[in-house]
Amino acid sequence: MKLGAGRKRMGEGPPGCGPLIPPLSEQPRPLRQQIFERVRAAGFMPRIQIARELAISPASVTTLTSDLIDLGLLEELAAPRDGDSGRGRPAVALGVRAAAHHVAGIKLSDRELTAVIVDFAGNLLADVARPRQPGSMETAALLDTTEELLAEVCRKAGLAPADLSAVGLGVPGFVDSDTGVVHWSPTLSLRHVPLAPLLTARLGLPVHVDNDANLVTLAELWFGAGRALADFAVVTIEHGVGMGLVLNHRIYRGAKGLGMELGHTKVQLDGALCRCGQRGCLEAYIADYALAREATTALNWGAREAQSVPILLESLYDHAKAGNSAARSIFHRAGRYLAVGLANVVNLFDPDLIILSGERMRYDYLYASETMAEVKALALNTGRPVPRIEIHAWGDLLWAHGAAALALSKVTEGLLGQVRDLAAA
Number of domains in the chain: 3
> Can you tell me whether residue 303 is helix, strand or coil?
helix
Max Cα-Cα span within the chain: 86
Integer angstrom CA distances of residue 311 from 22, 275, 291, 308: 55, 20, 12, 5
- Residues 361, 263, single domain; the answer is yes
- Residues 232, 371, single domain; the answer is yes
- Residues 152, 115, single domain; the answer is yes
Task: Identify whether 129 is part of a domain.
Answer: yes
Task: Identify whether 19 is part of a domain.
Answer: no
d(CA 132, CA 111): 5
Task: Identify whether 5 is part of a domain.
Answer: no
First and final CA of the chain: distance in angstroms? 58
| pLDDT tens for each residue of 194-238 | 999 999 999 999 999 999 899 999 999 999 889 989 999 999 887
**Those residues with Cβ within 8 angstroms of residue 29's Cβ, 6 or more apart along the chain or in another chain:** 37, 417
| pLDDT tens for each residue of 143-192 | 999 999 999 999 999 999 999 999 999 999 899 999 999 999 989 999 99
Tell me, what DSSP letter sits at residue 109? -
Residue 28 has pLDDT above 90, yes or no: no
- Residues 338, 258, single domain; the answer is yes
- Residues 381, 237, single domain; the answer is yes
Confidence of residue 72 (pLDDT cuts 50, 70, 90): very high
CATH number at residue 278: 3.30.420.40
- Residues 265, 211, single domain; the answer is no
Confidence of residue 255 (pLDDT cuts 50, 70, 90): confident
Tell me, what DSSP letter sits at residue 137? B
| pLDDT tens for each residue of 73-118 | 999 988 766 555 555 556 789 999 999 999 999 999 877 899 999 9
- Residues 291, 343, single domain; the answer is yes
- Residues 389, 372, single domain; the answer is yes
Which helix (H) or strand (E) segment is 193 a member of?
strand 193-194
CATH number at residue 72: 1.10.10.10
Q: What percentage of the chain's residues is helix, strand, coil (to nearest 5)?
A: 40, 20, 40
- Residues 209, 319, single domain; the answer is no
pTM: 0.85
pLDDT at position 292 is 86
In contact, 153 and 126? CB cutoff 8 Å? yes
- Residues 367, 259, single domain; the answer is yes
| pLDDT tens for each residue of 341-366 | 999 999 999 999 999 987 766 777 66
Task: Identify whether 131 is part of a domain.
Answer: yes
Task: Identify whether 11 is part of a domain.
Answer: no
- Residues 137, 205, single domain; the answer is yes
d(CA 420, CA 278): 46
Can you list the positions of beta strands (E) in 151-261? Answer: 166-171, 174-176, 181-184, 193-194, 207-211, 232-237, 241-247, 250-252
- Residues 384, 403, single domain; the answer is no
Task: Identify whether 124 is part of a domain.
Answer: yes
**Domain extent for 55:** 31-79+92-96
Q: How many residues are present in the chain? A: 425
Task: Identify whether 348 is part of a domain.
Answer: yes
